[in-house]
Amino acid sequence: MKKNSSANRSPLLRQVEPYLWIAPSVILMCIFIIVPIGTVFRMAFSEVSKTGKIRGFAGFGNFIDVMNNAEFSTVLLNTVVWTIVVVVLSTVLGFILALLLNNEFKGRKIARAIVVFPWATTLVIQASVWKFIINTDYGALNTLLKSLGIISSNVNWTPSPEAYFAWEIACGIFVTIPFVCFTVLSGLQSIDASYYEAATVDGAGYFPQLFNITLPLVKDSLTVATVLNIIYVFNSFPIVWTITKGDPAYQTDTLVTYLYKLAFYNGKQGEAAAVSVIGFTILLICASVYMVSTLRKGDE
């Protein structure tokens, strides 16, 4: 008789065997995530030549140099404003849109397909379209308003860096709404209709049902959407770069476009790595605080 092959295996092998199937994923994660992060941290604390060669340990020198740059405070403030405004408004508008698309109405499938278009289109194309729309000389916005008789001459929609930055934020909100909408919509569709039927029988109106049934039951979907949205928006590069490239004089830069300039325009790769670490730390703290606070509220 042949002995059971599993009986011939060592106890250690039998304990490790269930985890072997995740080994390829762990290896890929190490190669494409852990190693690059480690390399960036190493560069951030090292003296780096313009060619990217690490010369030696620099301590916090790169971080000090970055923070001493006159434009860094402006860039950091832009990043905070950009992330908060885009995430908050896209989350609110995406949630409202998800509520509307969750209702039964004629043409709902077409409406859902239209909503997903901005999400399916690349950000470079979206930003290029927005840049064309607000162009003073031949932009679509001026052309439309003139054809409607609302204005008689072209309007400069970007008279200042703040105006340019506001348009970039508007573009960021527009392209982010579909992501929030469909993430929340998936949560809405998983809610049993019997909850609403029971609430209606008890005399609860729309808003009591919204705050006592809908919001608690889509909280998990909303949490995932918000955390991913924070990371996605914070690291967004194409919109700012396509519309203004951070000009004039870093006035519309965010941390991502700023570190790109430091690394590839100014040859300061050590400082660019330091900015990357600062951004990574900010994201880690914000996402952790948000998730912990959300989980605590859920346990109460």
pLDDT by residue (tens digit) across 48-91? 888 778 888 888 999 999 999 999 999 999 999 999 999 999 99
> Which phi and psi (to 5°) does residue 288 adopt?
-65, -45
Q: Is 144 within a domain?
A: yes
Report the domain count for the chain. Answer: 1
Q: Is 165 within a domain?
A: yes
Give the number of other CB atoms < 10 A from CB of residue 13. 11
Q: Is 109 within a domain?
A: yes
Mean pLDDT over 171-183 rounds to 93
Question: Would the pTM count as exceeding 0.75?
Answer: yes
CATH number of domain containing 137 = 1.10.3720.10
Mean pLDDT over 194-217 rounds to 87
220, two tokens: 């998990």
d(C-alpha 156, C-alpha 139), whole Å: 10
248: cis peptide before it, omega within 30°? yes
Q: Is 195 within a domain?
A: yes
CA dist list (Å): 275 to 72, 246, 257, 268, 272: 9, 16, 10, 11, 5
Domain residue limits at 283: 71-299
Q: Is 222 within a domain?
A: yes
Q: Is 58 within a domain?
A: no
Q: Is 151 within a domain?
A: yes
Q: Is 133 within a domain?
A: yes
Of 87, 90, 88, which is closest to residue 98 (Cα–Cα)?
90
Residue range 15-54, pLDDT digits in tens? 766 667 777 887 888 888 888 889 899 999 999 888 778 8
